[in-house]
Amino acid sequence: MLPPREKEGYNHCMGFLDWWFPRICKLCNQTFDGDIDVCRHCLAALPYNRWPCQRCGLPLPQPAIDLCQRCQTKPPAFTRTIAPLLFQDMIRDWVHAIKFGNGCREAQLLGRLLTTSVRQAGDVLPDVLVPVPLTLRRLWRRGHNQALLIAQPIAKALEIPLCRTGVRRVGRQRPQRGQTRKARDQSVRGAFRVTREWHGHVALIDDVMTTGATVSELARILLGAGASRVDVWVAARVDARARVDTRVPESRR
């Protein structure tokens, strides 16, 4: 953290820059005053996950329900999910930009929106953040890990350590797009390996959750290695009821 005097000077500098170079909304291209790159009108119009299952983040039909049927009968290895947005419309475009293009700005934006949701949830903060790792092959092809790009502004804002090592993804799993829940569960079994002991409360960070198979397997591995609790923080959740198309053009894979 910056010392008080330096922090005050930094805030004055940023205030001057905001006055001289006003922010432009990423969606409507209008200038506005704000902390993120979306004006309040467009921010209110984002596809929010308003009534999520408290365990897996699945969108529910009404607010009176806390857990989806699956989490009541077969709960995942993780304890809690925070997934503020639905994988629809501009959110899908932002995620694709982060994964397959130069989407640093979108990653910052989703990271800050996720940070806001974590603060609003009021949960006890974890001891460490862990971005869901990619295989070395996929990391080499993309040049970056989208989960890490989203995790970085969260770690900075909440002052939580960010761990980039200690768990790695192994093997060559098939892309999970288009697979059934059962196939996803089977394809990620044994996909992660820990390289050290784990302790305390861990929060996994990722861009999108579809069925939760990947993060559930990763949570299982971390709990087996000594973690006391694993939560999941994702920018967006796929609504299975809406049959959202998660595919991307062949040229962007």
Dihedral sign (CA 119, 125, 130, 132): negative
The per-residue pLDDT for range 94-131, each reduced to its tens digit, is 999 998 887 888 999 999 999 999 999 999 999 999 99
Instruction: Give how many domains the chain has, as a whole number.
Output: 2
**Rounded to an integer, what distance in angstroms lies between the CA atom of residue 109 and that of residue 211?**
24
146 and 224 part of one domain: yes
Look at residue 86 and give its three-state secondary structure: strand
pLDDT in tens, 42-78: 999 999 999 999 999 999 988 878 999 999 999 999 9
Look over the chain and give the mean of its residue pLDDT values, rounded to a whole number. 84
Residues 71 and 28 in one domain: no
Q: Are residues 207 and 85 in the same domain?
A: yes
Same domain? 20 vs 106: no
Query: Which residue range forms the structural domain that includes residue 215?
Result: 49-252
- HSE-CB for 132 with a 13 A CA cutoff: 25
Kindly state whether residues 35 and 86 are assigned to the same domain.
no
Q: What is the CATH number of the domain that holds 247?
A: 3.40.50
Clarify whether residues 25 and 87 are in a common domain.
no
In terms of domains, do 3 and 128 share one?
no
